[in-house]
Amino acid sequence: MHSIGTASKRSGVHIETIRYYEREGILPPAERTASGRRVYDEDGIARLRFIRHCRELGFAIRDAQALLSLTAAPMPCAEAQLIAQRNLDTVRSKIAELSVMERELSALVDQCGTHDKHCAILNDLFAED
C-alpha cells in the first residue's frame, strides 16, 4: 500500500487531482489507514496512470471514466472505439480552428512595422469583422 504522495509520484497525477477524482467518483474512494490517511494499491496507481494518459490525449474526464469502466467489459473494443472516434473528431476540429488562428496571427505579425506610428496589429484588432 502506498501513500497519496507515492501514488502521485508513481502515476504522474497531482495529489489535489487525485482527491478531486475521488470526490467526483472517477476513482473509488481510497482505503484509509487507522489515522485516516489515504493509501493506494498497485491497481489504484494503474487506474491513475490510465486516467492521466486519457487526459493527455484530450479525453474529457467522463470519457476517461467510461473508458476505464470498459476495462471490465467482456467485449469493450466497439464502445471504446466510439469514444475515441468522438475525441478524435474533437481534436481534428480544434486543429482546424488553430490553423485558422495561426494564419491570421501570422498575417498580423507580417504586416507589422515595428517603427510605425500606427500599429497594424492594434488597428486590425480594433477593426470590425
The CATH class for the domain spanning 2-72 reads mainly alpha
Distance of CA 72 to the CA centre of its chain: 23
Q: Which amino acid is at 22?
A: E
Domain limits of the chain? 2-72
Angle in degrees, 0-180, between the axes of helices 15-23 and 4-11, rounded to the nearest 10: 100
Q: What is the pLDDT of residue 127?
A: 75
Q: What is the pLDDT of residue 129?
A: 67
Q: What is the pLDDT of residue 73?
A: 77
Q: What is the pLDDT of residue 107?
A: 86
The tens place of each residue's pLDDT in the chain, 129 residues long, gives 888 899 999 999 999 999 999 888 888 888 888 888 889 989 889 999 999 999 999 999 999 999 988 888 788 888 999 999 999 999 999 999 999 999 988 988 888 766 667 787 887 888 776
Distance CA 95, CA 29 (A): 36
Q: What is the pLDDT of residue 110?
A: 84
DSSP reduced 3-state for 38: strand
Q: What is the pLDDT of residue 114?
A: 66
Distance CA 2, CA 6 (A): 6
